[in-house]
Chain A
Amino acid sequence: MKLPGFENSREGWKQRSSLEFRHRIDKFAGRLFFVFSIIPVFLAIAILVMMIYKSWPIMKTHPLWQMLTGQVWKPDDGLFGFLPFIAGTAWVTLVALFLAVPPCLLTSIFLSEYASHSLRAFMKPLLDILAAIPSVVYGVWGTIAIVPFIQNKLQPFIHQHLGTLPFINSNNPTGFGILSGAIVLAIMVAPFIIAVLYEILSNIPEGLKEASLAMGTTRLQTVRWVVIPQALPGIIAGIVLGASRALGETMAVLMVVGNVAQMPHSIFDAAYPLPALIANNYGEMMSIPLYDSALMTAALILLVIILIFNITSTLALQHVLERNI
């Protein structure tokens, strides 16, 4: 069968180039593309629905609040307390942000306000490469470089001099712990945070800065009193977006964080973040009742936290970036 308009002849060519035919093709492509554009929306909803459906069996028998605040994780006895994992995720992410945000902020201010054109051009591929390095490689680097450093140098040193302070007093001697995970994570999210902050800072109208500089302020004063106040909502949103990236990072953290299900009390303690819990246990041990449902609930908790961070910061960033044009 030959489709009308597709004969390989002079007539066919004429038909193909007729206005009516072109409009028909255009309309058809429009409808097809519309179907394609449903896919992301459908996927986003379907993933959420599927996860809720899969975690439903355990939510029926164990109240969600009880699981969120339960401290004991013993699937064999039917005890599914997520608090150690949530706490582990929170500790690693917060320490990582604490380490990453000041240098990232300073670097992005430096790039947008001080750096020469050639330095900026040098920084771009550098950040791209840093962002492109796979998380497993970061994990390898963490186990080779960071863990021994913490085990042999940093922890003994701190233990000797500041041993009694809260949050750093620990008897975990392995070096695998929250601080190792946080250092690796901080370097992983740094290129991302710098890129977002740089975009926000360079979006501040040049006239504002010039007006301030014309008053005789130094560059730093302009940054402090003009740029930062103007960019603050965007900066916060950028950091929250970085946090949402850090929360979901699996492999690199899993390899250096120790993976012990306990409530951490110190940055040197081992922890067990939610993504590591899923990666280590999912796909195995399905014989224990409700285990897979519990892991799906863990994934759902993680996803909900990430989506809240992600959506609010994305919307805030859109708002901020559109306002300044």
Chain B
Amino acid sequence: MKNRWAGRHVAETIFKGLMLFSFGLVAGSLALILWTVISKGLPSLSWSMLTQAPQGGYYLGKAGGVLNATLGSLYMAGGGTLLALFLGLPIALYLETYLGRSVWSRYVRLALDVLWGIPSIVYGAIGFIIMLAIGMRASMLGGIIALTLLELPILTRAIDEVIRMMPRDLEQAALALGATPLEVATRVITRQMLPGIITGVLLAFGRGIGDAASVLFTAGYTDRMPSSLLRPVASLPLAVYFQLSMPYPEVQNRAYAAALILTFIVLVVSLSSRWLGGKLGKFIIK
């Protein structure tokens, strides 16, 4: 018969309690963060915050909003994601269909892991050096390039992981019918793995839009609306950071509102990737 009070059963109960506690800790901290951002940001979120650029005296608490930063962030993250996808998708497909388990694929994957580990502040500094070297000032283009560097390894590795999970039979069936590797890549893998690819793209977009350190030197900051690729552009993370460091409470409250906008965008991206993944998942062959 089971002795409930034997040492090992007591230990089991204690540890189960501890595990539940740490599980609650992780879930609770997410709830706490979201609650703090929403409860602080919502009162100072107004229509003009969303639809206006900063007006004169904005940083002293006068009228205006962060539309310039919102648009700037969306443009830069969008551009960076597109470029990263343009480079990353072929690399991921190449690794899988053409290379298989060759030595070169190992090197490429290792290089991607290395790039993935480089902190965003280093990408920002590197981007700045390159821009200095070719005589470019802080601009939207610089920000897009820095974000492309940052997002490329994230996106490529995410897609690569997804493609690796694909059932091998499908690929072999296509090859057996006489398809070339390119046709396998474009007509079988990309279709079959579309949900995963979209998830990877949105993951990279979310990382790009939230990253402040890489655009700090490369994109600069301005109160004007984004107008040209060669002009400095504002971004939401930096808007949050700069406004929070102002000594006026009204401006700090706007930093909370801007943080709420940023969190909202990231949450929408994260949830929609989940939703899209489920929706498109219907069309794949299991």
| A residues neighboring B (CB under 8 Å) | 22-23, 25-26, 29-30, 32-34, 36-37, 39-41, 43-44, 47, 50-51, 54, 102-104, 106-107, 109-111, 114-115, 123, 125-130, 132-141, 143-145, 187, 190-191, 194, 217-221, 244-245, 247-251, 255, 275, 278-279, 282-283, 295-296, 299, 302-303, 306-307, 309-311, 314
- Whole-angstrom CA separation of A245 from B120 in the bound complex: 10
Stretch at the interface among B51-59, B86-94, B188-196: B86-94
| A residues in contact with B37, CB < 8 Å | 137, 140-141
Residues of B close to A218: CB separation below 8 A: 8-9, 11-12
Task: Specify which chain A residues have a CB less than 8 angstroms from the CB of B229 in the assembled complex.
Answer: none
Complex: A143 Cα to B37 Cα, angstroms: 11
Q: Given A130-B26, A303-B122, decide whether A40 and B213 contact each other with a Cβ distance below 8 A.
A: no
Residues of the B chain whose Cβ atoms lie less than 8 Å from the Cβ of A34: 94, 98
A310 to B255, CA, bound (A): 34
In the bound complex, CA of A295 to CA of B20 (Å): 44
Given the known inter-chain contacts A22-B180, A40-B111, A140-B37, please indicate yes or no for A299 contacting B125, CB distance below 8 A. yes
Given A128-B270, A279-B216, also A255-B119 (CB < 8 A): no
Q: Which residues of B contact A47 (CB under 8 A)?
A: 115, 118, 122, 126
Q: Give the Cβ gap from B165 to chain A, nearest Cβ, in Å.
A: 13
Let me know if B149 and A43 touch, CB within 8 A.
yes
For residue B1, CB closer than 8 A to chain A, the reply is: no
Interface contact B19-A134, CB-CB below 8 Å:
no
Neighbour of A129 across the interface among B32, B129, B267, CB < 8 A: B267
B152 touches A40 (CB 8 A): yes
Cα distance A115–B27 when bound, in Å?
A: 14
Kindly count the residue-residue contacts between A and B in the assembled complex, taking CB atoms under 8 Å apart.
250
Cβ contacts under 8 Å, B23 to chain A: 106-107, 110-111, 115, 123
CB of B152 within 8 A of CB of A283, answer: no
Residue from the list A29, A102, A144 in contact with B182, Cβ < 8 A: A29
Whether the pair A306, B91 counts as a contact (CB closer than 8 A) is no
Residue of chain A at shortest CB distance from B86: A36
Known A-B contacts A23-B180, A187-B29; A110 and B122 likewise in contact (beta carbons under 8 Å): no
Q: Given the complex of chains A and B, what is the CA–CA distance between A110 and B20 in angstroms? A: 7
Q: Mark B112-131, 1 if CB is under 8 A from A, else 0.
A: 11110111111011101100
Complex contact B244–A107 (CB within 8 A): no
B258, chain A: closest CB distance, angstroms: 9
Please state if A109 and B19 are interface contacts (CB–CB under 8 Å).
yes
Q: A44-B115, A132-B269, A135-B211 are in contact. List 12 more A-B contacts (CB 8 A).
A: A37-B94, A43-B111, A103-B22, A125-B274, A126-B30, A133-B266, A134-B262, A138-B33, A139-B240, A140-B244, A311-B110, A314-B113
Chain B residues with CB below 8 A from A140, complex form:
37, 40, 240, 244, 255-256, 259
Chain A residues with CB below 8 A from B110, complex form: 311, 314
Contact of A296 among B114, B125, B266, B274 (CB under 8 A): B125
Within 80-113 of B, Cβ neighbours of A (below 8 Å) are at 87, 90-91, 93-95, 98-99, 104, 107-108, 110-113
Task: Return chain A residues, CB-CB under 8 Å to B226.
Answer: none
- Asked if A40 meets B156 with Cβ closer than 8 Å, knowing A103-B25, A110-B19, the reply is yes
Task: Give Cα A40–Cα B212 distance, bound, in whole angstroms.
Answer: 23
What's the Cα separation between A310 and B94 when bound, in Å?
Answer: 24
Select A102's contact among B22, B114, B121, beta carbons within 8 Å. B22
- Proximity bits, B1-31, A CB within 8 Å = 1, else 0: 0000000110110011011111101110110
- Given A126-B27, A128-B270, A136-B210, are A248 and B121 neighbors across the interface (CB < 8 Å)? yes
Residue of A nearest to B40 (CB): A144
Q: How far is the CB of A133 from chain B (nearest CB, A)?
A: 6
Query: Inside 8 A of B266's CB, which chain A residues have their CB?
Result: 132-134
Per-residue A-contact encoding for B239-277, CB less than 8 Å = 1, 0 else: 011001000000000011001001100110111001000
Return A44 CB to nearest CB of chain B, in Å.
4
In the docked arrangement, what's the CA distance between A102 and B237, Å? 31
* A-B pairs with beta carbons under 8 Å apart, 11 shown: A25-B180, A36-B91, A44-B114, A107-B19, A133-B33, A135-B212, A136-B237, A137-B262, A218-B11, A220-B16, A299-B125
Measured CA separation A296–B111 after assembly (Å) = 21
